Structure 1
Amino acid sequence: MITRKRSLYQHIRPYLVVTLAMVIIAWAFSGIQFTGIKDSAGQILGAILSGLCHPDWSFVYSGHGEDLTSALLETLAIAFLGTIVSAIIAVPFAFWAAKVTKGFSLRSTTGKLILTIIRVFPELVLAIMFIKAVGPGAFAGVLAMGVHSIGMMGKLFSEGIENLNRGPEEAVIAAGGSRIDTLNWATLPAMVPEFINYTLYRFEIAVRSASILGIVGAGGVGAPLIFALSTRWWSRVGIILIGIIVMVTVIDWVSGAIRQNLLK
């Protein structure tokens, strides 16, 4: 068995990588100004933990529409509508950005650039902009969530189109099928499960993002949460955080189960 001698670069490459990583980490920490821990930090932490251990259960449901249940349902509705709207709009963007031929493609490049520009704006920034346009409330949250999700879902959909197995399409064409036949019998059956999978995954993320949109007035559970934090109502903070944890956990479990069945 012939063994090749390793070059000097191959010997020192792991050490160079580790050294470079340490330099970058040190540079990153050098830009952080540590101002110390406040004297009241322990008292505040104890109050927060006490609120989590003794939540305000009376806020769970009151029947007046201003309780935790109503806020969580509104958050869920914002995430659901924003995801559905963005999934529909993202489909043509995905075909625009998908690169299905080798070499440079102006159509694909411009499509990817548009999706990148859309993804640049965070949900909170979009929520503030839409609040100025349509006023505070859940509608602004849906618009912010939907616009931001177009960029991400368009990217995921386009990648799904690019990685699509072309074998079934070639088989339909070889059998004399038209473009419509190819779309109906080869392309769509392969794409739809992938699109649904990406949509469910994005919905999981949207539920978490929608939980904080209320902080800027875009509806959802974020509004009572920021109010409770600003007034140091820790028992109210505790029950809201518990509600968010339960909602996110259930959504993740249901979405994961659906995605597993789709991929079978």
Structure 2
Amino acid sequence: MSTYSSPPKQPKSTFKKIKRILIFLVIAAIYIWTFLGIEIDWGRAFERMANNFDRVIPKLFNPDWTATSEVALKIWETVLIAFAGSLMAAILAIPLGFLAAQNMTRSKILTAIGKWILSAVRAFPDIILAILFVVAVGPNAFAGVLAIAIGSTGMLGKLYSEVIESIDMKVIEAMEANGANKIQILFYGVMPQIIPEFLSYAIYRFEVDIRASSILGIVGAGGIGTMIIFASSNRNWNEMGLILLAIIIVVTIIDFISARIRRKIV
């Protein structure tokens, strides 16, 4: 009866061991330097946390149900802000995605311009965009929609461009060889390959925007964030507990529904 033995393990390189140790020491030194530079009175911080824990946490788990109708109205407004912003972003990102795709423009200059525009848009956090639009159009839900739309356009445009660059170019070449024009190639060669992933990314971004729109009201951009800032300012932790519960329920439901939709699309 023949027996089989596993191949001998290759000895670990001494250089790799030293490299890993050095990387660990550098990361540890960065963390230590960071915490020492913050200048936090850890004793006072833990003391305040212990005092607030007994005072705040029990109230968060005892929601104020009398504010249910107002919270429901604001959470619905939050969902609408996220939906409108995501829809605008999904549309605006399409031309930018084509512009940033190397295999579509076939021009390094145009591709670089498209990628630069998308990078510049992604550089601004949603909360900063919300502040700018609150100043521009006033403290209302429309400012939140614009902030979500512009913020999501950068990320969706980047994802769209990567999808476009990964399509099967043999289909395009075959259509060109048979005399198809640009419009026919777009609708019959490109779009069927990219639409499923475009929809999947747009739905996923809607999930992200639900979370983002929950805090935009803190700066006056509408949604449940407005109630969060009022509840925290008034130390109304019972109402804050109801708001957090509503956010958790809505986000969980939307995540579940969108996950099922994306599985069927892709």
Q: TM-score, normalised by structure 1?
A: 0.89
Tell me if 1:28 matches 2:34: yes
Counterpart position of 1:181:
184
Which residue of the other structure, out of 195, 199, 222, is the alignment partner of 2:198? 195
Matched, 1:137 2:140: yes
Q: CA deviation at 1:4?
A: 8.1
1:114, distance to aligned residue in structure 2 (A): 1.2
Match in the other structure for 1:165: 168
Say whether residues 1:54 and 2:56 are aligned partners.
no
Cross-structure match for 2:51: 43
Identity value in percent: 40
- Structure 1's unaligned 5+ residue stretches are 62-66
CA distance in 1 between partners of 2:48 and 2:194 (Å):
55
Write out the 4+ residue segments of structure 1 that deviate beyond 6 Å after TM superposition: 1-6
Correspondence 1:9 to 2:15: yes
Query: Is the deviation greater in 1-10 or in 41-50?
Result: 1-10
Q: CA separation in 1, counterparts of 2:102 and 2:59? A: 52
In the alignment of these two chains, the number of paired residues is 258
Segment drifting more, 157-166 vs 254-263: 157-166
Cα deviation for residue 241 of structure 1 reads 0.3
Contact 1:99 1:108 in 2 (8 A): yes
* 8 Å Cα contact 1:47-1:234 kept in structure 2: no
Greater per-residue helix proportion: 2
One-letter amino acid matched to 1:130: F
Q: Equivalent of 1:235, from 212, 234, 238?
A: 238
Q: Cα RMSD over matched residues?
A: 2.5
Aligned counterpart for 2:101 among listed residues 98, 101, 106? 98
User: 1:64: which partner in 2?
Assistant: none
Superposed CA deviations along residues 142-176 of structure 1, whole A, max 9, x for unmatched, are 11111111111111111111122323323433444
Question: Quick check: 232-241 or 34-43, which moved more?
Answer: 34-43
Equivalent position amino acid for 2:60 in 1: L
Kindly state the Cα deviation for residue 105 of structure 1 after the two structures are TM-superposed.
1.3
| In structure 1, C-alpha distance between the alignment counterparts of 2:263 and 2:68, rounded to whole Å | 32
Pairwise CA distance, 1:40: 4.0
Equivalence for 2:4: none
Is this contact kept in 2: 1:48–1:238, CA < 8 A? no
Q: Mind listing any 5+ residue stretches in structure 2 that lack a counterpart?
A: 1-6
